[in-house]
Structure 1
Amino acid sequence: MAAFEASSNPPLQPPSATASTLPQYPEMILAAIEALDDKNGSNKSAISKHIEDTYGELPPAHTTLLSHHLNKMKQSGQLVMVKNNYMKPDPNSPPPRGRGRPPKPKSDLPPDAVASPPRPRGRPPKSRDPSDPPPPPKIKSPSPGSGRPRGRPPKKAKTGVGAPPPLTASGSPRGRGRPPKVKTAVATPVGC
């Protein structure tokens, strides 16, 4: 009976047998774009249909593989995508610009000049040598032009709990609250 089971099941072909007869996907894609020869390019479904018609047996993940290779070829510059259509890049066109602001052009130095290394970021470290003189003290100078120092002026001395209340112009301590209005005497006419 074991002989019967062995003869009824034919040996399976390895899955790579059909894949090995197919060319690589980038080659099939480029051949399809050339064969379709549309001046506006070819979309993904037209490329897929041409590959299916030309090669017949394709792997079950054909659509996934096609999308992957189209994206890869687009990013590497082998294909250009214009309005959802893929086409070969024009050899006379300038290379595509990257994202963001282009870098500033570097100034050319004369051949005899030596470029110094760029200054590192941040504050320079303090010297750890005890024999070095201390750094000079910083001198606060007023801002140029105005004659006044920068910033908000310092507050006057605070009056605390034990401090006497401030004196008014007459010399007596001020009471709480808003001071009363000062009434002015109205002059009455004398000949009435």
Structure 2
Amino acid sequence: MADDGKPALPPYPEMIFTAIDTLNDKNGSSKAKISKFIESKHGDLPTGHSMLLSHHLNKMKDAGELVFSKNNYMRPDPNSPPKRGRGRPPKPKEPLPAGYVPPPPRPRGRPPKPKDPLAVAAAKAAEGLPKRRGRPPKKAARAAAPPPAGAKRGRGRPPKVKPAVAAVGA
């Protein structure tokens, strides 16, 4: 920025503190009062002055530099305890002994299943062979069961078996 002969604006937090201290209201100063004071003291304000003022007031309020009560901003009482955040406070951490190296963190996710040593050996043995064409053969456990000894099964759903009707009255 080039110096045009105008005095540079001080930072917003500094202007806000000056306004609150000069207005010296026991209940604090509203955003409108702070804004009017800054406008009267510094005529050449940026176009987004109200948004900048709101941003800095909120930022200072969250940091604990200002106290917000009944739509008024004021400096915090030096004798008051610091404001505590929401939720349960964290437990105090015990210091680690000197020379202690924590173990590496566990990997994320479910641990892998233990591998069958026979399957691993078979996979390593077949690794060098080229893959066979076509559909792989069925597993040995299913092929070992022999088909029923009766008639050969046909295609489709089998017909419903009707119970034999006994002769009535003899």
For 1:99 and 1:51, locate their aligned partners in 2 and report how far apart those are by CA, in whole Å: 34
For 2:39 and 2:33, locate their aligned partners in 1 and report how far apart those are by CA, in whole Å: 10
Matched with 2:136 is: none
Computing the radius of gyration from Cα coordinates, the structure with the larger value is 1
Report Cα offsets for 1:137-180 as digits up to 9, x if no partner: xxxxxxxxxxxxxxxxxxxxxxxx98xxxxxxxxxxxxxxxxxx
How many residue pairs get aligned? The number is 119
For 2:6 and 2:57, locate their aligned partners in 1 and report how far apart those are by CA, in whole Å: 19
TM-score normalised by the chain length of structure 2: 0.52
Query: Are 1:77 and 2:26 an aligned pair?
Result: no
- Mapping 1:24-173, distance limit 5 Å: 24-106=11-93, 111=97, 117=103, 120=106, 124-128=111-115, 130=117
For 1:45 and 1:94, locate their aligned partners in 2 and report how far apart those are by CA, in whole Å: 29
Distance 1:84 1:52, change over 3 A: same
Report Cα offsets for 1:121-147 as digits up to 9, x if no partner: 77554444839xxxxxxxxxxxxxxxx
TM-score normalised by the chain length of structure 1: 0.47
Distance 1:117 1:128, change over 3 A: same
Structure 1 residue runs without a partner (length 5+)? 1-13, 132-160, 163-192
Structure 1 runs, 4 residues or longer, greater than 6 Å off: none
Tell me whether 31-40 or 99-108 shows the greater mean CA deviation. 99-108
Q: Which amino acid aligns with 1:36?
A: L
Residue 65 of structure 1, CA deviation: 1.6
Higher relative contact order (CA 8 A, sep 6+): 2
For 1:30 and 1:79, locate their aligned partners in 2 and report how far apart those are by CA, in whole Å: 9
Q: Which amino acid aligns with 1:71?
A: N
For 2:14 and 2:91, locate their aligned partners in 1 and report how far apart those are by CA, in whole Å: 39
Report Cα offsets for 1:14-41 as digits up to 9, x if no partner: 8984875321211111100111112221
Local SS of the residue matching 1:53: helix
Local SS of the residue matching 2:117: coil
For 2:50 and 2:6, locate their aligned partners in 1 and report how far apart those are by CA, in whole Å: 15
Structure 2 residue runs without a partner (length 5+)? 119-159, 162-170
